[in-house]
Structure 1
Amino acid sequence: MLALWSVNGYVKFSAKNRILSPADAKSLGADCILILGAGVRAGGVPSPMLQDRLLQGIELYKTGASKRLLMSGDHGQKAYDEVNVMKQFAIDREVPSMDIFMDHAGFSTYESVYRAKAIFQAERILIVTQKYHLYRALYISKALGLDAWGVASDPRLYAGQEYRELREILGRIKDFFKVMVKPDPTYLGEPIPLSGNGDVTNDRRSLDSMPANPS
Structure 2
Amino acid sequence: MHFITIMGLLWLVSIGVFWGVMKYKPRTLWSGFSFFWMLVFSGLLVVTIGFQYSDWIVRHQALFMALSVLLGVVVLGLLFFPFAVILTFFVQGIRILFKEGFRWSNFLSLAFAFGLLVYVVAFPLAFSGASSPVGVLVYGAVGMAVTYLLSVLTIFCFSAMLNLIHWKKRHDLDAIIVLGAGILQEKVTPLLASRIDLGIKLLYENPHAVLILSGGQGEGETISESEAMYAYCVERGVDPNRMRQESNSRNTEQNLAFSYALLDDPKANIAIVTTRYHVFRALALARRAGVDCVGYGSKTKWYFTLNALLREFVGYLALTWRSHLRMLAVLEIPFLLVFLMAGLFN
What's the TM-score, normalizing by structure 1? 0.68
Q: Output the CA distance in 1 between the equivalents of 2:162 and 2:259.
A: 21
2:235 aligned to which of 75, 89, 92 = 92
Q: Which amino acid aligns with 2:284?
A: Y
Q: Which has the higher contact order (CA 8 A, sep 6+)?
A: 1
Post-superposition shift, 1:4? Answer: 5.4
Q: Unmatched 5+ residue regions in structure 2?
A: 1-144, 323-346
User: Cα gap change, 1:113/1:7 in structure 2, threshold over 3 Å: closer, same or farther?
Assistant: farther
What's the TM-score, normalizing by structure 2? 0.44
Structure-1 residue corresponding to 2:276: 131
Post-superposition shift, 1:17? Answer: 4.3
Higher strand share: 1
Post-superposition shift, 1:70? Answer: 0.8
Q: Which amino acid aligns with 1:70?
A: I
User: Cα gap change, 1:166/1:15 in structure 2, threshold over 3 Å: closer, same or farther?
Assistant: closer
Post-superposition shift, 1:6? Answer: 5.5
Matched, 1:164 2:308: yes
Q: Output the CA distance in 1 between the equivalents of 2:193 and 2:255.
A: 18
1:60 aligned to which of 176, 179, 202 = 202
2:298 aligned to which of 153, 173, 179 = 153
> What is the RMSD of the two structures over their aligned residues, measured on CA atoms?
2.9
CA contact (8 A) 1:34 1:126 kept: yes
Q: Output the CA distance in 1 between the equivalents of 2:277 and 2:255.
A: 17
Structure-1 residue corresponding to 2:251: 108
Q: Output the CA distance in 1 between the equivalents of 2:169 and 2:253.
A: 23
Identical residues among aligned pairs (%): 26
Post-superposition shift, 1:137? Answer: 0.8
Q: Which amino acid aligns with 2:308?
A: R
Q: Which amino acid aligns with 2:212?
A: L
Q: Output the CA distance in 2 between the equivalents of 1:101 and 1:53.
A: 16
Count of aligned positions: 174
Deviations 1:140-199 (A, max 9, x none): 112222221112111x52664443222222122223369xxxxxxxxxxxxxxxxxxxxx
Structure-1 residue corresponding to 2:133: none
Q: Unmatched 5+ residue regions in structure 1?
A: 179-215
